[in-house]
Every structure is written in structure tokens, then in C-alpha cells.
Amino acid sequence: MSEQQQKKKAGVFDIRFVIGGLLGAYGIILILLGLFNATEEELARGDGLNINLWGGIGMLVVAIAFAAWARLRPVVVPADPT
């Protein structure tokens, strides 16, 4: 077999996909809370800034960065460790 055929990628088992997925899920939850559940009391605590919305957007951006990083620079696992 050629050297290229013996190498496999970690795929979805790459820890960057797991971290990106969790950050993305939490980010979407925070975005939804910021859009549909922002009360005047919560906005006053954040000095008029919708913290849930901006925090969720930040988490979603980081999740996309993790997914892009894992996709562009995959971990290569040797097929036969011996």
C-alpha cells in the first residue's frame, strides 16, 4: 500500500469538533435567550448590553473557528501502529 492510503483522519472523533459542537450548542441557546427572553432587568444588569446575545454570537464564532481548524488541519492517524 502507498503511504497516502495508510494514513487516516481522526474525523468527528477529533477533540476540536467536540469542543466546537459544545460551544456551538451553548452559543445557539444563548442567542435564542438573548433574542426572545431579554427582560429589562437583565438588560439593566448589563448596562443596556444584551450579554446573552453577544456572548452567544461570540461562542458561535469560536465554534465555527474550531470546526474550520479541524477541517483544514486534520489529525492524521496511522492505519497500522506497528
Tens digit of pLDDT for each residue in 29-44? 999 999 999 889 888 8
* φ/ψ (deg, to 5) at 3: -65, -35
Q: How far apart are CA 81 and CA 13, in angstroms?
A: 18
Domain segments of the chain as ranges: 21-73
Q: pLDDT band at 25, cuts 50/70/90?
A: very high
Whole-structure pTM value? 0.77
Q: pLDDT band at 65, cuts 50/70/90?
A: very high
